Every structure is written in C-alpha cells, then in structure tokens.
Amino acid sequence: MTESGNICGLKREDFQTTIDGRKTDLFILRNSKGHEVAITNYGGAMVAIMVPDKHGNMANIIQGHDNIQDVINSPEPFLSTLVGRYANRICRGRFQLNGKEYQLKINNGPNSLHGGPTGFHARVWEPLQMNERTLVLSLISAYGEEGFTGEVKITVVYSFSDNDELSIEYMATTNKKTIINLTSHGFFSLAGIANPTPSIEPLICQINANYYLPIDETSIPTGEIRFVEGTPFDFREPKAIGKDIDADNEQIRNGAGYDHCFVLNKREEGELSFAARIEELSTGRTMEVYTTEPGLQVYTDNWADGYSGQHGATFPRRSAICFEAQHFPDSPNHPYFPSVVLRPGEEYKQKTMYCFGLRNKD
C-alpha cells in the first residue's frame, strides 16, 4: 500500500523525487493487525516499523527520516538501509580474485565500508509491491561499480506477516566471478524513537554465538576467532547491553563499544536459525533475529551525535542497536573465513527475519 492514510504518519509525496531518471517512493506493508513497515526504494531504507508496547501503544521502533531529502542527506548514510555490494569492511579496499588485485573506493578511515560511498544504500531500486504485505526491490550493479568486478543482478523481498515477522530475502547472480555480502542495516530502537530517543544500554540481549571476531584499531578483523567466555562479548545468557559496553577491554576500545561480528552457532551451513534476541523492559517489546548467514555484526550506534530524524525525533549516541546478518568482514583477505565468492551460474541467497513481540507476562 502506498496511500498516506497510515499510522506511521508518513506521506507518500514526501518521499517522491526523481534521481537520474529513477523515481523514489514510499511503500507501506501492513498486516491483519494493522501494524506497519514503511520502506522507501531509495537504498531500501526502512523508515518506520509500527508495533505496540505492552499497553497497546504504537510507536516507530526503527530510526529513519520523514522525507526523501533527509534520507539522501542523512548524517548516518546507512540509516536502516540495504547494504552492498560488500557489507562491512574490506582492509584498505583491496582484495585478490583469480590472481588479480582489485581496489575499491575508501570511505572509512583506510578501509572500504558497506560497498563504498555510492553503494546499494545510495541507489534507487526498482520497486514492485506484490500485495499489502510484500515488496520486491531489484537492482543491477554494473561491472566496475565502486571497483567491483562483474555485473550483478540483485533482488530483495520484504514481507511482513500477521505474526509481526519481517522477513528479508536476498537473491543475486553475476556474469563474472565476484564477491558479494549483503545485509540490512536496521537501527532498532525498541523503546520507540523520541526526542531524545532512549539509550539501548538497558536492553536485555542474548546472542547465539560462542565466538566473535576481534578487530584492530581500524575495525578490521585480526584473523583470530576468539571464544566469548570471560569477555564483554559473552551474550550466550541474556544480559544488559550496557553491562560491559564500556569495559576496560582493548576490543571494546577498538570498537568504541560493540561493533563486532559474532560467529553464529550453526548445526549446518545455511540453516535458518536463531541468532539474537533483545527485550526492552519499560515497553515489554521484544525482537528476535533468525538468519541463514554465518555472522551477525552487532553495532551499538557508537558514533551518533544526536542528529535529527523522523517527526522531530533525535538520535543520540547509543540510541539504536544494529543486527546486521552477513558473512564476515574482510573475508576476501582471510581464506579460512566462509567464502563470499559468487560465480556465474550460481545464485547468492540469504534470508533474515526480525520477529517483533511482547515479553510474556509473569
């Protein structure tokens, strides 16, 4: 649905413009409960997820903007967008494929981040709203774009179920051997966005990972796969995000908090399995994450500065948490990490689900 009569208060016309001949728009997914997910085809950005708290009060629990110009010019360019061709960082933007070295654009210190400055987050996707609950976005990434090899065709399907399950499915093919790593960079604020949006530090968090990837001072994996036990990264049992977020720990300092990839526990490669759960105590809202991906980048919004967002909301430091399901950062430069190579005739597939609910009453 694209009409403006919705509970998120967003207006379709505020998201309509033309960029390089392609039109942007706003799309509303609505389930039988009347709950909503609002998405623009500019970068596939989610601009609203409207679900109730324990008292039935509706609020937007994802950070976004209320018009297309603010989405385009956001101080956080990846705010709740799709990310590609390569999610996360590649060291110095360099990797080798078939004996040839490729150089990507640098946009994060000395490294390439999230596909570069004009990656998938900054593209106008071709939209097709299949029905009230399903939106399909497609894109062709040209050979040489941001330094990547191969022409890649990508399809992303958003669907929103009656059980408040937001499913994001990704498919891609290439005409030449290349690398690919896609994700959605949702900035979740389960308390509801506000002025100011509350800190995520009180959230109770569980992550289904026995290991994580340590990073250097530029946020590139060192290559080690480290056991979480006895570290601030042990979320195998639920604990408050803020409990160890400022611990006297080199890894916490390197990430300015949490900005690390967790190695998800898997019985078999590619299975759709539980990755993480968060619970917001004051509202009773919960979110569970399920994914087919081997890794989950957890980012605690360590660099926000209180910039303005939707409907007068402001987004201070650590007012959101991101669960970016993906392959590992810098995988092309670590041969023993799960492969991110895509070849002609193969299909890249990924599915991640964000399941919203309420804490069980005691």
Q: Which residues are catalytic?
A: 185, 324
Q: How far does CA 309 lie from the centroid of its chain?
A: 18
* 335, burial (CB in 10 Å: exposed 0-12, middle 13-18, buried 19+): exposed
Among 197, 176, 216, 161, smallest CA distance to 51 is for: 161
Tell me if 8 sits within 8 A of 38, measured CB to CB.
yes
Distance CA 10, CA 5 (A): 8
Question: If phi over 0 gives left and psi between -120 and 50 gives alpha, with beta otherwise, what is residue 270?
Answer: left
Distance CA 68, CA 79 (A): 13
Tokens 């903007």 belong to residue: 65
Phi first, then psi: give them for residue 57, nearest 5 degrees. Answer: -80, 130
| C-alpha distances in Å from residue 14, one per residue of 131, 150, 233 | 22, 35, 41
Tokens 């399950």 belong to residue: 165
